[in-house]
């Protein structure tokens, strides 16, 4: 019998009916103990009747139902910090240490078909406001009860902290609490091997758990008060109208819907992301008509009334094939932009709010063109001009987007023919034209041109989830955007003409 229910004693605390499965790796049991006590696996000493549990094998540990398991070890916050690390020369570094020295982020170990989790973690890590929110989250796990949202939030916080130290790292704790919270991620196939999972489902569940625990940043005087940081920075809102196609006399009904990601539906006619998004925002549905007293066809039209700072777009590439009982993949090539303008998808009221910042971007581009045409006034070898960053959110709505302009900052791709097989990879922007391919524990620099090749059309990596961040306006110090030189010339000519007419 490989599965037992044991009692775990840790100091003065007792945890009854803790399940142990000896068919799994002992590290998974230690991860489960971490979820209960907060003691990191590398600090745990687990003993049963004088015998110590190893990390790699169960050995002859005398396990049975009701046996007492003794856990020794302290939480990380109860242990003094380690001494400073001695300097290491580059010629003495291994591959992972060199990656750290070259400012490459840490990779994540594949624990057996866990690339879906690794890619998701790498993409979400590109959001600085999410990182700040996690660092400020002071709760810990333990206390005997398993709270999925808190355990996942703590595990992701600690994982990012470990990744910041460089080199590759194992996401074992996060994986274990994810499987405890959502058993479908612990499904096994033939031979007892953990099955591949859908990365977008993992993304959705992680974000939903964070939504329950990370509080929003307060904004004084704001009418919009989001409940969580996720809603504040990732959440958008639709204005929705339902119009009955079979009863013209029936008044349209209107409502609001919140969203955390947009869906890009892929049909035979869709070649670009924007057209796939449009097809979802106007669709036909069937629902009961109070005028006709029966089900009727309605046109559902959605327009965005709030744009979040970070816009998540899922390419709906998988559909269920009944004959093979698999989620088959649509390999069609669908182009996506590095810079995305979402204004066309917005309500007229929101478009009006976005206009001032859009005009400022236009003025900035015009001034840059003028400066390029006036290069003779600049000396060669001048140092880089300092800039100041303008807020990207609407007044009294922290976490929104005030221009409708977005910049692509992360792509999650899938290579294979179904969502339950193949391989997932995260691609994240490091600088303007440099990206990083995060393929589990291997992190490799790539170019922006490589990212544009991820649009699909074959068995190469296909974009599945895109993460767009706000386009940041950076104004060179001393530049005045009130009016450009060309505008001043026009104004002067208009004034002279007016004077001559009089």
Residue 115 annotated in active site: yes
Residues 4 and 65 sit within 8 Å (Cβ to Cβ): yes
Q: Give which of 392, 264, 265, 277 is closest to 346, Cα–Cα.
A: 277
Task: Count other Cβ atoms within 10 Å, centred on residue 454.
Answer: 20
Residues 271 and 281 sit within 8 Å (Cβ to Cβ): no
Give the integer Cα–Cα distance in Å for 308 and 231: 8
> What residues form DSSP beta bridges with 296?
287
Give the integer Cα–Cα distance in Å for 139 and 141: 7
Residues 262 and 276 sit within 8 Å (Cβ to Cβ): no
Set 115, 123, 264, 346: catalytic member:
115
User: b/e per residue, 463-489, with b = 16+ CB within 10 A?
Assistant: bbbbbbbbbebebeeeeebeebeeeee
> Which sign does the torsion angle of CA 58, 62, 67, 72 carry?
negative
> What residues form DSSP beta bridges with 254?
241
Set 264, 346, 414, 423: catalytic member:
423
Give the integer Cα–Cα distance in Å for 181 and 145: 12
CA-to-CA dists, residue 43 to 33, 159, 277, 302, 495, angstroms: 11, 16, 49, 52, 78
Residue 462 annotated in active site: no
DSSP classification of residue 418: B
- The residue to which tokens 């109070």 are assigned: 290
Q: Could you list the active site residues?
A: 115, 423
């Amino acid at each position: 019998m490989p599965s037992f229910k044991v009692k775990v004693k840790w100091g003065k605390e007792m945890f009854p009916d803790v399940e142990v499965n000896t068919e799994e790796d002992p590290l998974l049991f230690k991860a489960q103990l971490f979820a209960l006590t907060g003691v990191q696996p590398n600090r745990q000493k687990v003993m049963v009747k004088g015998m110590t549990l190893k990390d790699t094998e169960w050995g002859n540990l005398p396990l049975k139902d009701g046996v007492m398991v003794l856990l020794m070890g302290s939480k990380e916050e109860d242990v003094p910090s380690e001494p400073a690390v001695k300097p290491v020369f580059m010629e003495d570094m291994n591959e992972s240490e060199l990656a750290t020295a070259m400012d490459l982020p840490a990779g994540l170990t594949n624990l057996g078909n866990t690339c879906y989790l690794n890619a998701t973690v790498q993409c979400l890590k590109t959001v600085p406001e999410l990182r700040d929110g996690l660092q400020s989250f002071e709760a810990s796990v333990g206390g005997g009860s398993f709270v999925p949202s808190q355990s996942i939030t703590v595990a992701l916080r600690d994982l990012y902290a470990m990744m910041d130290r460089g080199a590759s790292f194992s996401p074992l704790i996060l994986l274990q609490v994810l499987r405890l919270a959502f058993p479908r991620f612990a499904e096994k196939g033939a031979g007892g091997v953990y099955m591949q999972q859908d990365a977008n489902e993992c993304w959705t569940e992680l974000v939903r758990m964070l939504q329950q625990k990370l509080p929003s940043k307060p904004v004084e005087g704001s009418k919009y008060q989001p409940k969580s940081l996720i809603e504040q920075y990732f959440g958008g809102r639709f204005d929705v109208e339902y119009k009955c196609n079979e009863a013209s006399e029936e008044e349209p009904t209107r409502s609001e819907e919140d969203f955390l990601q947009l869906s890009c539906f892929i049909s035979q006619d869709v070649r670009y992301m924007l057209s796939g998004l449009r097809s979802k925002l106007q669709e036909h549905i069937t629902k009961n008509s109070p005028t006709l007293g029966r089900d009727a066809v309605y046109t559902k039209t959605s327009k965005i009334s709030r744009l979040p700072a970070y816009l998540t777009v899922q390419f709906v590439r998988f559909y269920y094939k009944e004959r093979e009982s698999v989620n088959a993949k649509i390999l069609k090539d669908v182009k996506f932009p590095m810079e995305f303008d979402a204004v066309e998808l917005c309500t007229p009221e929101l478009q009006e709010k976005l206009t001032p910042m859009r005009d400022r971007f236009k003025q900035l581009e015009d001034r840059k063109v003028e400066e390029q045409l006036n290069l003779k006034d600049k000396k060669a070898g001048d140092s880089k001009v300092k800039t100041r960053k303008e807020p990207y959110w609407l007044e009294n709505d922290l976490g929104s987007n005030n221009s409708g302009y977005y910049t692509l900052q992360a792509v999650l791709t899938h290579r294979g023919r179904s969502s339950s097989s193949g391989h997932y990879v995260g691609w994240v922007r490091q600088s303007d034209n440099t990206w990083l391919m995060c393929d589990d524990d291997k992190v490799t620099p790539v170019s922006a041109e490589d990212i544009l090749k991820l649009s699909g059309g074959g068995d190469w990596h296909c974009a599945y989830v895109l993460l767009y961040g706000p386009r940041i306006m950076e104004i060179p110090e001393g530049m005045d955007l009130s009016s450009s030189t060309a505008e001043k010339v026009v104004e002067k000519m208009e004034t002279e003409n007016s004077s001559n007419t009089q």
